[in-house]
Structures are given as structure tokens and as C-alpha cells.
Structure 1
Amino acid sequence: MSHCREDSFLPVQRIVYALSKARNLLTAEMDVALAGTGVSGSHISALLVLSRGIARSSVGLSRQLGINSGFVTRVVDHLERQGLVRRDRNSPDRRVVNLTLTEAGRNLAARIAEIVPAVLNRRLAGFTPLEFAALCRLLGRLLDE
């Protein structure tokens, strides 16, 4: 079934517009909540994915987060300058660069894990538990998870 058609295109009604606007609102709110930490909303996912061992390289981050390798490089460069991430060459294959959180990076990831839910809970305060579960389920389907 086709849900979107050219003849009924209205940008404000498009799912891409709504998802993009929701992401931008959340990122701006995260930036405010993270003020003084040296990182912004665009760094949160990378720090949390690395802290949980879900990815251990830039390629892994790119795949896991669904972002291009150039953006991942800029994020990792920033985190490395902040002393939060260390790049280590894989000894058997020097082309592979492993990413490791420093102690400061692990501490900040733990703080972020406390900050992010508060921001999300403020944005989601009007949702009932059933609406929240439905939102998560539908977004999972959209992402094919």
C-alpha cells in the first residue's frame, strides 16, 4: 500500500518533516541540558554506543547510528580533543582503529545516561504509557527493527 503520493504532498504533513523537526527539537533541548559538559546532542549517541560496547570503531558507529563516516570522524575528532575518546590501532591490522572511552568519557557517558531520560521525559510527558509504547513500536517498524 502506498501511503504517500506526489499529488497530496504537503511538507508539514510529511513524516520526514515531522521526524526531522522532532529530532531538531530534542537535539536543541539536549544541547541546553548538556551545557558545560563540552559535548552537544550530536555526540550523545556516539558516547552511549561506545560506553555500552555496541560499537568499537568509527565504521561500527557509522553503521549503528546510521550516519555517514565523515560525520562520525568529526564527532570522534571532537570527543578525542575533549579527552573523552582514544583511538587505538588494531595490532594485527593497522587499518583498523578501535575507539575506547577514557575514564573521563566513561564518567560523562554515565552522566549523560542520567541527563537524557529527564529531557525525553519532559518532551513525552503528555503521552500515556500506551501511546509511548505505540510510538516505540511504530518507530521500530519504521526502522525495520
Structure 2
Amino acid sequence: MNSDPLYDPSTIRLETSLGYLLAKARNVLVARTDQALKPLDLTAQQIGVMLALASGRARTPLELSREMSYDSGSMTRMIDRLEKKGFVSRSRSEADRRIVELALTERGRTAAGQLPAIGAAVLNEQLDGFSRAELDQLTGLLARFIGNAAAGDCPPCPLGDE
């Protein structure tokens, strides 16, 4: 643990603070991803759900909420949108009728299959001019930064407007 604080309250500036830059970087990446996903009628917020279902990491709204650290109300609205667009279907569990199971439709599976290539293209464009070593350093530093949050310190996040 650092004994010397890295930020001084008397000199900290919004536009050079790590929090501001992380938020700005996320916004840039989301906007670029949203643009790339327009032909599929998806948003950056929705691809996490699509990929979690495609990989089998989640099968129910509750599992998705936990996997993605989203609150259940926001997740329900996200699933509603994806179902309305024809990407996701809901059905009652055969084992327990109280449980709603989710599955990608044929359209959802087709779109999910395209997401890795779209994601890689967006990231490669945004990382133009970075070396492999710089990318490895950036991802390592961000992993350390995230690791400094004790388990349970981060409450579920509401999903942004889609």
C-alpha cells in the first residue's frame, strides 16, 4: 500500500484526474462500439448480455445480473429490449417453473458470432499507435487498479441509457 497519497486535495484537477480519464476513455469506447454495432441493431451495453448467454456463463436474468454486476431492474429492461429485437427468448424452466431461462434466438446467435470481430476491430482502432508492450502495461495497471477494490465494495451498477 502507498504510504504517500498520490492525489492532493488542494491541487487535484478534474481534467487530469484518473477518474475523469477513465470515464472519458469508457465513453469514447462505448460511442465507437455503438457506431460499429449499428448494423446489427445492438448497443455496447447489450453485447455483454449477448456474450454471457452465448458462452453459457449465464442462463437466467439473476445469473446475468450477477455475472455483469447490474441491478435486476436494469437487467430486466435490457432483456426486454433484446427480446423485442428478436435476439433473446424467455422460457420457463422445466425443472422449476418459477425460474425464467434465457436463450439466444437464431438472430442472437448470428449476431453473437460477429461480436468478437467487431470488438477486436473497435479496440484495434482505439489502440492505434500503441505497442504490444504498452497494451500489456495498460491492461496490467488497470487490473491492479481494479484489484484494489475489496470484494463487495462495488454495488451492482444500473445500466446506462441504451
- State the secondary structure of the residue aligned to 1:6: coil
Larger % of helix: which?
Answer: 1
Count how many residue pairs are aligned between Structure 1 and Structure 2: 145
Which is higher, the Rg of structure 1 or of structure 2? Answer: 2
Please give the alpha-carbon distance, in whole angstroms, between the structure 2 residues aligned to 1:7 and 1:34: 42
Q: Deviations along 1:48-84, whole A, 9 cap, x unmatched?
A: 1111112222222222222222221121111101111
Which residue of 1 is the match for residue 92 of structure 2?
89
Q: Deviations along 1:94-144, whole A, 9 cap, x unmatched?
A: 332221111110100011221111011000122110110111112222232
Which residue of 2 is the match for residue 30 of structure 1?
33
Question: Of the candidates 38, 42, 50, which is equivalent to residue 39 of structure 1?
Answer: 42
**What is the 5 A alignment of 1:100-119?**
100-119=103-122
TM-score, normalised to structure 2, is 0.80
Please give the alpha-carbon distance, in whole angstroms, between the structure 2 residues aligned to 1:117 and 1:70: 30
Note the residue ranges of structure 1 that are not aligned, 5 or more in a row. Answer: none
Note the residue ranges of structure 2 that are not aligned, 5 or more in a row. Answer: 149-162
Please give the alpha-carbon distance, in whole angstroms, between the structure 1 residues aligned to 2:44 and 2:103: 20
TM-score, normalised to structure 1, is 0.88
- Distance 1:5-1:35 versus aligned 2 partners, 3 A rule: same
Please give the alpha-carbon distance, in whole angstroms, between the structure 1 residues aligned to 2:43 and 2:147: 28
- State the secondary structure of the residue aligned to 2:40: coil
- Amino acid across the alignment from 1:101: L
Please give the alpha-carbon distance, in whole angstroms, between the structure 2 residues aligned to 1:86 and 1:26: 28
Q: Deviations along 1:17-55, whole A, 9 cap, x unmatched?
A: 112111111111111111231111111111111111122
Please give the alpha-carbon distance, in whole angstroms, between the structure 1 residues aligned to 2:17 and 2:143: 18
**What is the 5 A alignment of 1:36-75?**
36-75=39-78
Find out whether 1:121 has 2:124 as its counterpart. Answer: yes
Please give the alpha-carbon distance, in whole angstroms, between the structure 2 residues aligned to 1:94 and 1:84: 22
- State the secondary structure of the residue aligned to 2:110: helix
- Distance 1:11-1:99 versus aligned 2 partners, 3 A rule: same
- Amino acid across the alignment from 1:17: Y
